[in-house]
Amino acid sequence: MQGDAPRIPKQGLDRDRILSEMAARRKDDVKWQENRAFSLVFHHSDEHTEFLKAAHGLFFDGNGLNPMAFASLRRFEHEVVRMTATLLNGDRETVGTMTSGGTESIMLAVRTYRDRARKIMPWVKKPEMVIPVSAHVAFDKAGKYFDVRMVRAPIGRDFRLNPKTMARLITPDTIALAVSAPEYPFGMVDPVEDIGALAIKHGLPLHVDACVGGFILPWVERLGHPIPPFDFRVPGVTSMSADLHKYGYAAKGASTILYRSMDYLRHQLFVCVDWPGGIFASPSMPGTRPGGTIAAAWAGLMAMGEDGYLRNAELVMDTTRRFIEGINAIDGLRVLGNPPASVFAYGVSDKRLNCYAIADFMAQRGWHIDRQQRPPAIHLMVNPGHAKIVDTYLEDLRAAVAHVRANPDAALSGSAPAYGLMANAPMRGLVEKNVLAIMERMYSADGEIPHLDAEDGGGVPKPILTLMKLKTRFVDKFLYRRKEG
Ligand SMILES: Cc1ncc(COP(=O)(O)O)c(C=O)c1O
């Protein structure tokens, strides 16, 4: 490190000065407080957030690593797990632990099933799990970490998994199945009952990823919305992940992994008896477990209460309905599939419209846009604050569609070509290499933060941009105009 690389100051600085510099650094962060983002932050209300901070602060120093030392934290964790198990229709056999988030919960489930297979499926040499294409990418991460091959079952035109497709992918090396309730990309709840029956037929465990749905679907169902059965009521479901830091409205770093019985959880627990540092036992991946997040998760559940969650679900569902009806009313756009709760995506139904150009226009109007691929789409997860901005969002979206319709070249400026290229390039290895290169720059000693839309074309090389331009003009001129003429 040279030059003015950050260093620990020789003498500690004034704490007030540090706090004001920190506050100033937030200026370029996503404007979730203005309800302009649809992911990353699940905000219930300012009052609830202040309460969570207070609860977190009380146990800021606590460490859930040693439950004997922090009996308070062990009790919070136990009660959080029991409350979640009851919510998801488990019984007294249902057991589990808190984790740091959805990814850790999923990783633990994958590792649990791998280790279970090592014990009771000795013929499996290369373990595989069958999961839908739409299941969260955390399964791929888990597969890489724990050497379990993820076999992805395709989904249909209705964005749902067909159980027959999944059945065909089961082999003697399959150690478990997984589905989502709902999945992240399109917000669809997989056919858990059918897959549960399939799991029983093949003697396989079944994980339901309810990371995003665990604390919203039960309330939506109680409000009378049709939600396909997705939890421990379904025979064959052996584990579930449900995130407190999403619709549970806890502080970040809080999720649960639940198993139908100790027969499964047993494989998750870690014990080492030979370490000079002492006999070590740990329920989940980290060593030190921040007391604040465990305590705040418990406090969040107690403060929201059933009535609070139900009121929240009512507002969230009403807001989602307004979004979906408004988007479907725009000529050229359509919500993908028929999502039953508050997570969904929309794309273009008119092929002349470029979804990523619409996304760029929305971003210029100050919205934080989550772009998807296969198909190109824009993703939303609705929270109560969004009730205030639905109309402005839809107004901007109508303007975006009108703009992109009138200017097909909009697809060739800003970040749209870069997203288009990354989504469609046939050589996925090359795309992966490019993304890794960006990450290496971000995590290099310079700590550069690249901006995809910093230059015209989002960094797409000029010759490729020219080819893309020619293609767009050709398609527009000869295919569409001719048809219309
Ligand atoms: C369905 C689903 N599973 C898992 C995850 C991963 O959760 P986390 O970001 O807390 O690791 C997400 C995140 O959005 C999700 O939507």
Nearest residue to 77 (alpha-carbon basis) of 256, 311, 213 = 256
Q: Write out the H or E segment, with its range, that includes residue 168.
A: helix 163-168
- Give the per-residue pLDDT at 485: 36
Give the bridge partners for 207, in sequence order: 178, 239
- Give the per-residue pLDDT at 473: 66
State how far the Cα of 345 lies from the Cα of 348, in Å rounded to an integer.
11
Q: Choose which residue among 42, 104, 131, 136 to substitute to test ligand 1 binding: the one with the highest number of ligand atoms within 8 A of its C-beta.
A: 136
Both structure tokens of 167: 């059945």
406: left (phi over 0), alpha (psi -120 to 50) or beta: alpha
pLDDT tens sequence for the chain (485 residues): 445 889 999 999 999 999 999 999 999 999 999 999 999 999 999 999 999 999 999 999 999 998 899 999 999 999 999 999 999 999 999 999 999 999 999 999 999 999 999 999 999 999 999 999 999 999 999 999 999 999 999 999 999 999 999 999 999 999 999 999 999 999 999 999 999 999 999 999 999 999 999 999 999 999 999 999 999 999 999 999 999 999 999 999 999 999 999 999 999 999 999 999 999 999 999 999 999 999 999 999 999 999 999 999 999 999 999 999 999 999 999 999 999 999 999 999 999 999 999 999 999 999 999 999 999 999 999 999 999 999 999 999 999 999 999 999 899 889 998 898 888 888 888 889 988 998 999 999 988 887 765 455 666 777 777 777 777 666 656 655 544 43
- Is the CB–ligand 1 distance for residue 212 below 6 Å? yes
pTM greater than 0.85 (yes/no): yes
Architecture of the domain defined by 314-484: Alpha-Beta Complex (3.90)
Find out whether the peptide bond into 182 is cis, omega within 30 degrees of 0: yes
Judge: domain 56-302, CATH 3.40.50.300.
no
Nearest residue to 271 (alpha-carbon basis) of 283, 261, 263, 260 = 283
Nearest residue to 217 (alpha-carbon basis) of 230, 234, 206 = 230
Q: Choose which residue among 42, 184, 370 to substitute to test ligand 1 binding: the one with the highest number of ligand atoms within 8 A of its C-beta.
A: 184
Nearest residue to 130 (alpha-carbon basis) of 207, 74, 191 = 207
Both structure tokens of 292: 């604040």
- Give the per-residue pLDDT at 1: 42
- Give the per-residue pLDDT at 454: 46
Q: How far is the CA of 185 from the centre of ligand 1 (A)?
A: 11
State how far the Cα of 101 lies from the Cα of 256, in Å rounded to an integer.
8
- Give the per-residue pLDDT at 475: 60
Both structure tokens of 31: 């404007």
User: For the chain, which residues make up each domain, given as ranges?
Assistant: 56-302, 314-484
- Give the per-residue pLDDT at 254: 98
Sheet with 128-132, edge to edge strand ranges = 95-99, 255-259, 239-243, 206-209, 174-180, 128-132, 149-153
CB-based contact 389:35 (threshold 8 Å): yes
- Give the per-residue pLDDT at 462: 73
- Is the CB–ligand 1 distance for residue 184 below 6 Å? yes
Q: How far is the CA of 16 from the centre of ligand 1 (A)?
A: 36
Measured CA to CA in angstroms, residue 289 lies from 42, 324, 456 at distances of 22, 40, 45
CA dihedral 21, 22, 28, 32 (to 10 degrees): -140
State how far the Cα of 347 lies from the Cα of 397, in Å rounded to an integer.
12
Q: What are phi and psi of 423, to 5 degrees?
A: -75, -35
State how far the Cα of 300 lies from the Cα of 245, in Å rounded to an integer.
10
Q: How far is the CA of 254 from the centre of ligand 1 (A)?
A: 11
- Is the CB–ligand 1 distance for residue 142 below 6 Å? no
Place of tokens 């799990």: 129
- Is the CB–ligand 1 distance for residue 103 below 6 Å? yes
State how far the Cα of 151 lies from the Cα of 278, in Å rounded to an integer.
40
Q: Write out the H or E segment, with its range, that includes residue 257.
A: strand 255-259
Measured CA to CA in angstroms, residue 202 lies from 154, 160, 264 at distances of 20, 22, 17
Helix axes 291-328, 46-58, angle to 10 degrees: 160
Nearest residue to 94 (alpha-carbon basis) of 117, 73, 111, 78 = 78
CA dihedral 454, 456, 459, 460 (to 10 degrees): 160
State how far the Cα of 410 lies from the Cα of 399, in Å rounded to an integer.
13
In 3-128, which ranges are continuous DSSP H helix?
15-24, 46-58, 71-87, 102-120
- Give the per-residue pLDDT at 295: 98
